[in-house]
Structure 1
Amino acid sequence: MILTRLMIRRHRVLITSWSVLLIALAGATVSAYQSTYPTPQQRRIAVELAQHNPATILLYGNLPDPGTPAQMFAWEIGAFATILAAIMAVLVAVALTRAAEDDGTLELVRACGVGPRVPLRSAFAILALVAAVLTVGCTVAAGLHTGRVDAITWPGAAAFGSVVGLTFLLVAVLAAVLAQVVPTAGGARILGFAAVGTAFGVRSIADTQHVGWLNWLSPLGLRATVRPFTGSRWWVLATYLLAALALAWLATVLHDRREYRAGLLRRRDRRESHLTIRSSLGLAARLARQPVAVWTVAVAAIGTLFSAMGSGVVDQSQGGDVGGFLGAQLGAGDPVAGYFAYCGTVVGMVASSFAVLSVLRSRRDETGGLTDHLLAAGIRRWAPLAAQVAVTALGTAAILVATGALSALVAPSVIDGTDVAGRSFGYIAGQWPAAMAMAGWTALLVGRWPRLSWLAWVPLVTSATLALLGQLLGVPRSVRDLGIFQHVPDIAAPNANIRGLLILLTFATAATLLGVAGITRRDIVTS
């Protein structure tokens, strides 16, 4: 019990921030589906279009009849909630298992006489507790709208909350299994996110090809098999709960068969030859080579997917029949520009996540002792952080340019409109200043207040919420403009305003300089 409390305290910020985000997402968006489609006729038109639009089916799944506001909420927001729950599950599960092992925490704990299985059992207890919190929180958040939104009931809300909580638990124990296979926490995260991508692909194939049984093989298919607000099937939850228990047992068995701080797969052998690196910039670039390549492939795939599925959404918007979440994203202007602005926002969020993680590597190098070794070789104190920001800027640019170029090649073949290729590229590549603002903010925290580096995620999460849900929730335009993702101008417009981008770049430069200067005025922190 003491170990469980220690791990909860250590990861309280990660767990709390994600939990609040998911519960708030569930509670704040329900009423919008009642107000967006106030009449049965408007709702019927929107439901028919959603049920026959390949793009929306690919993204959200199949919308059941009769398409009540409650069903549309579970269909659209439920898709986002379960994906976010799966991402949260990977991050939390790896942090509780392999990351705690890699950074030496579990070594100290086991030195006190704790059994080898106890840390893993404590991790499973915390994962179950978080799943319960998500279940209860999402249930209450949705259930409070009973009587105000059509077809919202407490049993349906309980089924919806159970889907979110059990999706988290399934992916978390699956990530714990994968964490026993690879030798590092970073590898476990990559495998975990690959599993989430595979689960999304399986769910998409099941819905677009009408192969319903495939949803049983995907944690993200739980929403389709339980069917919240559509004759909720409770026995399905029991089946998936047994699957989660089986995965937990498998993780325990694999844990007993591997060595401490090692995986079932051996670490790749190192080359005998030495690398010639003449500067901190060269070292940062060498270490970032593989992550940048992985992120480029992943982000390019996401951007191309959104571009390829935009034809139906644009056609539907031109007819004035798009409502709900997508309708709020497209706005009332040119549907082509609105859709590519939405795609660019999504890609910008992912690229900004890379920028934050990349700059935070300076903090990990500092606590891990690598920075001490560099300084002992005569490197100036500000150089490692400055080099990391520079590599982050180049890496983010490579990711966005590659994604924008591939999107520009695909988009004109599926979407009709004015300057489709240019808009596709411009809205994606134009997110670079936003990503740099996040990199500069992170560098400021790492350089001056390293203990507060977790605050690097706050502007990203806030801006993402304002960009995706601000208009749907009725947030004033002046407040939404405070976010960083919706300042890319339409390059096809006669007077493109780039003032927002210049402000973001100015902030990024100033924050980076303050962070680089700040690291010269404090002690280097090592673990």
Structure 2
Amino acid sequence: MSGLGTLLGQRLRRDWLQLTLWIVGTVVLAFAGLGGVSASYGTEQDRVGILAAVMANPVILLFRGLPSGTDSDAFIVFLLFPWLAMLAAFMSTFLAVRHTRGDEETGRLELIEATPAARWTPTLATIIHGLLANIVLGILVAAAFAAGGAALEGSLLVGFATAAVGVTFLGVGMLSSQLMRTSRGANSLSVWVLLAAFVLAGVGNALGTPSDDLTRIESSWLTWTSPFGWAENARAFDENLWWPVLLCVVAFAALVGVAVALQAPRDLGESVVAERRGRADAHGGLSSTTALVLRLSTGSTIGWMAGALIVGALSTSLGSVVDQIGGENPAIADILNSIASEGDLEQSIVAVFFTMVGLLAACAAIQTVARARQEEAHGTAEAVLATPVARVRWLADFVVIGFVAVVLTCGAAWLGAAAGAARNSETADELMRAAGVAAAGQVVAASVFLVLTALVFTLAPRLTMPVAWAVVVVAIVLGLFGPLFGFPDTLVNASPFAVTPVLDGTQIDPRGVWWLVGVVVAGGAASVLLMRRRELAADG
């Protein structure tokens, strides 16, 4: 096909830094996990205790994989695999959207189709590009496990499963690009499909059936509706089943087939979901830049709020699931009693769930402020700043609306928690207090990422999105996996998610809230001051 090699080479040169960051970050997580888990849970007795606690508190399965025995390598896969697969999925969806709907939106695709290259050359290049990226990722993940002393077959299966989940979401990204009119809409749809699939696998595992020795779980049918669930049921280093992973390949082929079928009849720039017709005259409320930013951010903010509402509801409603499982298995009931004697189990569950709420709020903040960079790169910011609108005011509008998005996202989670707590009148007050403290703390944590994104935008605008998203990924890895990997407390506490206030019994433990507030104030002030002298930076 004319120009395929040239186009593929150009895309590889264009994406080398982003792909390197995604791939290296995933491999480092795998390698660090091998060493950390081996050091922290080196004996079978340690692993048996952790797995028994997991059976007693299935909420943990929303953030981990499918338990498949006490073998050290299988235990590492249980703890790490869903996150390795999630990184591969994010990498693949962003790649797919960037080189399909993104290039179409910016006009690059029109220029390519004006050359002797065939109409399907860019699509084929995107498929090959995404497959190559995932193949390299899978090989390196397998090599990391093998280098850590894991069995070869299981290592190869983990690498293949990671790449297979990534390939599935390459297809999701390509299909979303055909459905949605903008790259922003396509990315949002892809991310929500990804998060829904992740949650479905976790809930399906939580609703599964524990074994009598409390070391394995047979996942429920719900897990089999998710690519993450297919890959987890391969049970690497245990049964080493390859066929569930092949379902990911089948799903990829189906998704790409549908995407190609939708692309064939449509005109360049069109989409299956038509763009909503605009008003003939602007509403009076759009006379300010603040109202304009609010209008641009409303859709994405509602999406993050919806996700937070669900997470909040789960945080206070899954206690009944824990009690039910404990009632069905006396061994689990004994473990629940021991956990409860060490601290309030339900408060701990709320705190864990609201860490995910903080992540959603941080994503809402980053997406809102990063939109300033998109407006600048697309040239629309120049038209706004050509009017009597100061640069500082323009950026401040994005920061303020981003903070509003953070508050609304955490507030939606609190409302969801209230709805879940209402089902249990005996502990409703305690649960709501725990949810309130957790929500307020996550507002502060997410605001750190808000001001850091604004600061990067003023100092290195072209790095705004990659740096902002990389920082939030590092923070969630440190917060969730730092203790698991044996990182020092100083490093773990560098994550805003790890030092938010929590309810300890009847007292509030502020932990690191004051240094978080200091970062927010200092970062916000610095970004505003630096913006006064910064020139507009075109896309590059």
**Length-normalised TM-score, structure 2:** 0.85
User: Which SS does the other structure have where 1:252 is aligned?
Assistant: helix
1:357 aligns with 2:367: yes
Instruction: Report the count of equivalent residues.
Output: 516
What's the offset of the Cα at 1:98?
Answer: 1.0
Aligned pair in 2 of structure 1 residues 90, 303: CA closer, same or farther (>3 Å)? Answer: farther
| Stretch moving more, 178-187 or 117-126 | 178-187
Q: Paired residue for 1:440, among 433, 443, 451? A: 451
CA displacement, residues 184-235 of structure 1 (integer Å, 9 cap, x when unaligned): 2122123223332443455456543678666555322222442211222334
Partner of residue 304, structure 1: 313
Q: Is contact 1:3–1:119 with CA below 8 Å preserved after alignment?
A: yes
TM-aligned CA deviation for residue 294 of structure 1 = 1.5
Q: Deviations over 1:18-77 (max 9, x none)?
A: 22222222222234444444544554454455456543455546433x432222222232
- For 1:149, the equivalent position in structure 2 comes to none
- Uncovered stretches (5+) of structure 2, i.e. residues with no partner: 209-217
Percent of pairs identical after alignment? 24
Matched with 1:475 is 487
Of 88, 94, 100, 1:97 maps to 100
Separation in 1, partners of 2:403, 2:219: 43
Could you tell which deviates more after superposition, 87-96 or 291-300?
Answer: 87-96
Whole-Å separation in 1 of the counterparts to 2:320 and 2:37: 24
Find out whether 1:423 has 2:434 as its counterpart. Answer: yes
Match of 2:77 among 74, 79, 98: 74
Partner of 2:516, secondary structure, is: helix
Q: Distance in 2 between matches of 1:29 and 1:334?
A: 29
The one-character-per-residue Cα deviations of 1:61-109 (angstroms, maximum 9, x if unpaired) are 6433x43222222223222322333233222221222112212222333
Superposed displacement of residue 293, structure 1: 1.4
Amino acid at match of 1:90: T
Are the aligned partners of 2:47 and 2:75 in contact in 1 as well (CA < 8 Å)?
Answer: no
Match of 1:161 in 2: 159
| Alignment partner, residue 139 of structure 1 | 142
Change (3 A) 1:289 1:417: closer
Q: State the Cα distance separating 1:393 from its structure 2 match.
A: 0.9
Compared with structure 1, are the counterparts of its residues 195 and 418 closer, same or farther at alpha carbon in structure 2 (3 Å cutoff)? closer
Instruction: State which drifts further: 396-405 or 382-391.
Output: 396-405
Distance 1:11 1:305, change over 3 A: farther
- The question of whether the paired residues in 1 share the 8 Å contact of 2:97 and 2:183 is answered with yes
Q: After superposing the two structures, state which structure 1 stretch, 506-515 or 36-45, moved more.
A: 36-45
Deviation at 1:403, TM superposition (A): 0.9
Q: Does the alignment pair 1:261 with 2:265?
A: no
Kept after mapping to 1: 8 A contact 2:421/2:431: yes
Distance change in 2, residues 1:435/1:213 (3 Å): closer
Residue 462 of structure 1 aligns with which residue? 474
Q: Which residue of 2 aligns with 1:16?
A: 20
Matched, 1:270 2:278: yes
Matched ranges for 1:77-226 at <5 A: 77-146=80-149, 152-200=150-198, 202-203=200-201, 207=205, 208=207, 217-226=225-234
Task: Write the distance in 2 (CA, Å) between the matches of 1:170 and 1:496.
Answer: 44
Q: Decide which of 451, 454, 459 is 2:462's aligned counterpart.
A: 451
Deviation larger for 512-521 or 118-127: 512-521
Could you tell which deviates more after superposition, 305-314 or 444-453?
305-314
The one-letter amino acid of 1:180's match is: Q
CA distance in 2, matches of 1:114, 1:92: 21
1:242-272 per-residue CA deviation (whole Å, 9 max, x = no partner) reads 4433433433332222111211332222233
CA contact (8 A) 1:302 1:347 kept: yes
Q: Secondary structure at the match of 2:410?
A: helix
Paired letter, 2:520: A
Cα deviation per residue 1:119-158 (whole Å; 9 max; x = unaligned)? 1111111110111112111111112232xxxxx4110111
Residue 4 to residue 310, structure 1, CA distance change in 2 (3 Å): farther
AA of the residue aligned to 2:283: L
SS, match of residue 475 in structure 1: coil
Structure 1, unmatched stretches of 5+, are 147-151
User: Contact conserved, 1:385 with 1:447, CA < 8 A, in 2?
Assistant: no
Q: 1:139 to 1:479 in 2, by over 3 A?
A: same
Deviation at 1:112, TM superposition (A): 3.7
Q: Relative to 1, partners in 2 of residues 1:211 and 1:411: Cα closer, same or farther, differing over 3 Å?
A: same
Higher mean C-alpha displacement, 128-137 vs 15-24: 15-24
2:242 pairs with 1:234: yes
> Structure 2: which amino acid aligns with 1:297?
A
